[in-house]
Structures are given as C-alpha cells and as structure tokens.
Amino acid sequence: MDCIFCEIASKDSEAEIVFENEKFIAFLDINPINYGHTLIIPKVHYDNFLTMPVEELTAMTKLGQYLAGSIKRALKADGFNIISNNGLSAGQSVFHFHYHIIPRYDNDFQMRPRTIEYKSSEIESYAEKIRESILKYESLLNG
Ligand code: 5GP
Ligand code: ZN
C-alpha cells in the first residue's frame, strides 16, 4: 500500500522522530502550524479513529497525554491542541490514523472555526437522531 506514514514507520522514508516504541512512533510534521507540531501514529496501518482497535486507541491516547506534556514543557508552550482529522471532509489528508499535537502560545490561535446557529427546535431533533444512533449500537459500548 502507498502510505507515507507506513513508510515512516518502517524507516523507508525519513522523519524527525521524537519518540518510538514497539507500537507507536511520533515525529515532527513537515508543514507545522507551530514549531514542534508533532504527529503520533500507530506502526500498524489503520485508516482512521473508527477503524483503530480500542485497546490500541487507549494506549495511543495515554502516550498522547505523556507526549503533549513533554512538548508543552520542552517548548514552554502556553497550551496545545490535540486533534485528529477523520475523512476528507474533515481535512484528513493522510489516511493513516494520527493525532496532531500542536503547541500553542498566547494569542497565536487561528483555527477557531466559524459557528452556526440552531433554529427553533432543531437542536432537539439533532440530539434525537444522535441518541437513536447511540442506542442502536449500545451493545458495542458495553459488550
Ligand atoms: P491530516 O491532514 O491527515 O490530518 O494530517 C497529515 C499531516 O501529515 C499534515 O499536517 C502534513 O503536513 C503531514 N505530512 C504529510 N506528509 C508528511 C511527510 O512525509 N512527513 C511528515 N513528517 N509529515 C507529513
Ligand atoms: Zn499507513
């Protein structure tokens, strides 16, 4: 498969690696939003957040918490974004699951999305659709 992150994980492509263990690898994004913008990936290829097995996701999130603290301290950041884009419409451009950790400094935040407004009782109907979908597959959550 043609996947740049698989190539980085297998060392067939170069990257500025900051952390590696048996399952995960973290490296600097080549087009950073801020210096030190880091990506964490599983070494095994999963397309996105939904296809990542939950045990792997839990381990990667735990690692993300540790690395975010390390990055914040190392770069004296005031805060950070930890985000994951899923699907073309959400801005995903590399279809190998990853977290972005983006160091942030006071007044540098430029990613605030435009917001829209619910009309009359629309908020209830959106919530109802989501509640129905949650209930339909609840056994997956508790099973
Ligand atoms: P996405 O848009 O999928 O959420 O994020 C993919 C990220 O991977 C982008 O921020 C992009 O700059 C970064 N990226 C793409 N190709 C490479 C590469 O070859 N090396 C590194 N280090 N980062 C890459
Ligand atoms: Zn891959």
pTM assigned to the model: 0.93
Mean pLDDT of all residues in the chain?
95
Share of the chain above pLDDT 90, in %: 87
CA of 98 to the centre of ligand 2 (A): 10
pLDDT of the residue at 132 = 95
Tell me if 72 sits within 8 A of 60, measured CB to CB.
no
pLDDT in tens, 33-53: 999 999 999 999 999 999 999
Tell me if 83 CB under 6 Å of ligand 1.
no
- Within 13 A of 102's CA, how many CA atoms are on the CB side? 16
Residue in this structure with the two tokens 């006071």, named with its chain if needed: 106
- Cβ atoms 71, 65 nearer than 8 A: no
Q: Which two tokens stand for residue 130?
A: 């989501």
Cα 46 off chain centre by: 13
pLDDT in tens, 92-119: 999 999 999 999 999 887 777 889 999 9
Residues with CB under 5 A from ligand 2 (ion): 3, 5-6, 45, 96
State whether the beta carbon of 85 lies less than 6 angstroms from ligand 1. yes
Residue 26 has pLDDT above 90, yes or no: yes
pLDDT at 24: 98
Res 109: pLDDT: 78
| 18: Cβ contacts below 8 Å, ≥ 6 apart | 26, 27, 28, 38, 67
Confidence at 133, pLDDT banded by 50, 70, 90? very high
Q: What is the pLDDT of residue 76?
A: 97
